[in-house]
Amino acid sequence: MGNFGALVGAESKGVVERTPDILNGRSFSWELGDGDRTNIKYALSTLVEIGRQAGATRAFIPTEPGIELPLDANSIARFRSALDGFSLTMNSLRLTTAHPQGGNGMYGDSSSMRELRVVDGEYRVDGFENVFVADASLFPSTITVNPQWTIMAMSSLAAKSVLGKTL
C-alpha cells in the first residue's frame, strides 16, 4: 500500500471572519477558483497514473464520497473524462493541508487596508496586547512552494519585534 499526495497552491478566495458561523462553527470560508479546479484535476489525474506506473492496482480518490478506482488504462481514461466535466467544489473533495497560508491580514497603523487587518505591524492580534502570530497565516496568499524557510525568517523578525529587538 502506498499513499500519494500533491501540493497544490491555492487562489486567494478565502475569508476569515472575526466570529465563527453559528451553524458550522467555522470562522472561515473558502471557494475554489478556476485555477484551483484545473490544478486539482491535473494533480488527481497525475497521481493515479503515477500509482499505475508504480504497479498499484487500485487507488482511493479523496472525493465525497470516496472513489475506489481500478488502475487499468480503461478505468483511468473513464476517470479522466468524467473529471474533466466535473465541477469541483469544496464539498466534493476531502482536502487537507500541512501548510495553511494566508487569512490573517497583517497591516500597519497607517495602511489604507487597516480596517481589514487581523494582525498589526508588530505581529500582535488586533485588539489584544499579548497575543502574537508569526506563521504562514500572515502571508497575503499561498506561495505555492514549501513555506518553511519563509516562516522561519518571518518568525525571527517577529521574535525581535515581540522581545523588543534584543535578539
How far is 64 from 160, CA to CA, in rounded Å? 45
Within 10 Å of residue 114's Cβ, how many Cβ atoms? 14
For residue 77, what pLDDT is reported? 95
Q: Are 123 and 134 in contact (CB under 8 A)?
A: yes
- Residue 8: C-alpha distances to residues 42, 130, 151 (Å): 10, 34, 18
Summarize pLDDT for 130-160 with one digit per residue, the tens. Answer: 889 999 889 887 787 788 889 999 999 999 8
Class of residue 56 by CB neighbours under 10 A (exposed 0-12, middle 13-18, buried 19+): middle
H helices of the chain, in order, are 34-53, 73-84, 148-162
SS3 string of 36-53? HHHHHHHHHHHHHHHHHH
For residue 31, what pLDDT is reported? 83
DSSP class of residue 63 equals B
For residue 96, what pLDDT is reported? 65
Summarize pLDDT for 37-87 with one digit per residue, the tens. Answer: 999 999 999 999 999 998 999 999 888 888 899 999 999 999 999 999 998
How far is 4 from 33, CA to CA, in rounded Å? 23
pTM value is 0.60
Residue recorded with cell 467544489: 89
Summarize pLDDT for 2-41 with one digit per residue, the tens. Answer: 667 777 777 877 777 778 788 877 777 778 899 999 999 9
Sequence spans of domains, the chain: 14-92, 114-162
| pLDDT for 118 beyond 70 | yes
